[in-house]
Amino acid sequence: MKKASIWMLSLAVCIACTQPEEPPTMDNIAEQYVKLMLEIGQYNADFVDAYYGPEEWRPDSKADSLPADDFISRANNLISQIQSVEGDKDRKFMLVKQLIAARTKVEMMNGKVYSFDEESKLLYDAEPPSFPESYFDSLLVDLEKVLPGEGKLADRYNEFVNQFIIPKDRLDTVFQTAIAEARKRTMSRYDLPENENFLLEYVTDKSWSGYNYYQGNSQSLIQINTDLPIKISRAIDLACHEGYPGHHVFNALLEQNLVNGKGWKEYSVYPLFSPQSLIAEGSANYGIDVAFPGEERVNYEKEVLFPLAGLDASLADTYYEVQGLIGKLSYAGNEAARKYLNDEISREEAADWLVKYQLNESERTLQRTRFFDQYRSYVINYNLGKDLVANYVESQGGTADNPEKRWEVFKELLSNPNTASTIK
């Protein structure tokens, strides 16, 4: 009996050894992906922007140094698995792009250097345009016509726009009012969870002007940086960008539609340096135009926000004409980042470029170069992202004269897997 028992045990072990492994599934891959992102995030504080998945998936320990080879190997293995399984092609395509970005970021954390354009392609699935200096010079000529006078154009510009700074004691009132209006306009179009909400905080010593930390369960923490004076135009900008129909709505819709609706757990983690960010930032910027199309924004600000801030609304039209021209110079910031990060110019030269072509004050150029250091090619997500989102929405019929369709296409974009190469 004893020999038979040993033989039976050996047979069982042998059979177990020859049993084929369970084939991978997209749900299993998604779980491995989430855990990998969370582990990478232990070595870079900015890497994981949001997580609201199972608590037991969080890592409980970390190595003393970055295990780059292990992370890269696991990312490559998951990419191979994705390509071998059946599943939603859009889901698979997006997850592969996210893993390529994660692999690239680990390589960079481990010391590998990519050019600005290579980094943009690998991290954000996008090819940023490049403009000659003469292009920005031509835009400055238009500004000269609107702001005539003596002295440097940057000085004249800042003297003019500094008339529109929100007094600190009115800042919260103006922002709360702007957010409430943006929320009202968005909620009239979208059926968001009843419990959706946000907490607004004012912070200092940051390289950015505003940030949304999505908490899950349709909750956000929105922070506004008050290091530098805030102008009236930033109220609607930040209300829409960080809140409605920007980051807060984007994350709430992904959670509602993909995580809860379809069970796609990979969307319970948001790795910042990934293609998801181009859609997130681009849609957040374009969302301003969706919520406040045409003259509606200027009219609302003149009638409501200017009086709340104690500002002279008679200059509002000129102010927004100037801001429109400044907006066309946004790609000058990308050029400064490209040259600076490619070691073609120094920090001081990058700051001078920003003063000349974005008319920044010296304090703001310091904040901007700090952003380049911390987030690198992430800068492309704001303007290139907006342009790609705008072109996509309008190509689907969501034009300015068809606001219903614009809201509809915009929601579809926010609620589904999308990356730069899928919306071209």
Q: Which residues pair with 198 in a beta bridge?
A: 220
> Are 218 and 239 spatial neighbours (Cβ–Cβ below 8 Å)?
no
Q: What is the pLDDT of residue 94?
A: 98
| Distance (Å, whole) CA 246 – CA 188 | 15
Alpha helices in 85-227 (DSSP H): 89-109, 116-124, 133-146, 153-161, 171-187
pLDDT digits (tens, 9 = 90+) for 18-64: 555 678 999 999 999 999 999 999 999 999 999 999 999 999 999 99
pLDDT in tens, 215-272: 999 999 999 999 989 999 999 999 999 999 999 999 999 999 999 999 999 999 999 9
DSSP notation for 36-61: HHHHHHTT-TTTEEEE-S-GGGS-S-
Whole-model pTM over 0.85: yes
Q: Is the pLDDT of residue 14 over 70?
A: no
The two structure tokens encoding residue 380: 């492309």
- For position 363, what pLDDT does the model report? 81
Q: What is the DSSP string of 301-320?
A: IIIIIHHHHT--GGGHHHHH
Higher pLDDT, 294 or 403: 403
CA distance 71 to 90: 24
Which residue in this structure is represented by tokens 């990478």? Answer: 40
Q: What angle do CA 310, 316, 317 make, to 5 degrees?
A: 170
Tell me: pLDDT of 2 over 50: no
Q: Residue 90: pLDDT above 60?
A: yes
Mean pLDDT value of segment 108-116: 98
Q: How confident is the model at residue 373 (pLDDT cuts 50, 70, 90)?
A: very high
Please say whether the beta carbons of 309 and 166 come within 8 A: yes
Confidence (pLDDT) at 3: 46
**3-state class (DSSP) for residue 203:** strand
**Torsion angle, CA of 331/229/185/326, rounded to 10 degrees?**
-30
β-sheet bridge partners, residue 48: 271
Residue 183 has pLDDT above 70, yes or no: yes
Nearest-angstrom CA–CA distance, 262 and 168: 45
Q: What integer is the mean pLDDT of 185-189?
A: 97
d(CA 209, CA 219): 20
| Residue owning tokens 């949304």 | 212
Instruction: Kindly tell me if the per-residue pLDDT of 12 is higher than 80.
Output: no
Mean pLDDT across the chain, nearest whole number? 93
- pLDDT for the residue numbered 128: 96
Confidence (pLDDT) at 1: 47
The whole-angstrom separation of Cα 214 and Cα 206 is 18
What's the average model confidence in pLDDT over 341-362? 94
How far apart (Å, rounded) are the C-alpha atoms in residues 386 and 165? Answer: 26
Rounded to whole angstroms, the Cα distance separating 351 from 340 reads 10
Q: Indicate the pairing of strand 210-216 with strand 219-225.
A: antiparallel
Contact 250, 284 (CB under 8 A): yes
In tens, the pLDDT along 197-215 reads 999 999 999 988 999 999 9
Q: What is the mean pLDDT of residues 340-361?
A: 94
Specify the pairing of strand 219-225 against strand 197-203.
parallel
**pLDDT at res. 424:** 83
Instruction: Name residues whose C-beta falls within 8 Å of residue 375's C-beta, 6 or more positions apart in sequence.
Output: 46, 207
How confident is the model at residue 6, as a pLDDT? 47
Tell me the mean pLDDT in the region 101-125. Answer: 98
- In this prediction, residues 151-178 reach a mean pLDDT of 95
Is it the case that residue 274 has pLDDT exceeding 50? yes
- Check the CA dihedral 374-380-381-382 and report its sign: positive
315 contacts: CB under 8 Å, gap ≥ 6? 163, 164
* 3-state class percentages of the chain: helix first, strand second, coil last, to nearest 5: 65, 5, 25
225 φ/ψ angles, rounded to the nearest 5 degrees: -85, 125
Outline where DSSP puts E strands in 264-413: 269-271
Here the tokens at position 135 are 């292009």
Q: For 229, phi and psi rounded to 5 degrees?
A: -55, 145
State pLDDT tens for residues 376-388.
Answer: 999 999 999 999 9
Would you state the pLDDT for residue 364?
A: 85
pLDDT (tens digit per residue) in 127-145: 999 999 999 999 999 999 9
For residue 294, is pLDDT > 90?
Answer: no
- Write down the pLDDT at residue 87: 85
Query: What SS3 class is residue 144?
Result: helix
Cis status, amide bond into 245, omega within 30 of 0: yes
Q: Which of 109, 126, 108 is nearest to 117 (CA)?
A: 126
Hey, where are the domains in the chain?
A: 18-124, 133-422
> pLDDT value at position 207?
87
85 — phi, psi (to 5°)? -110, 160
Does residue 341 have a pLDDT over 90? yes
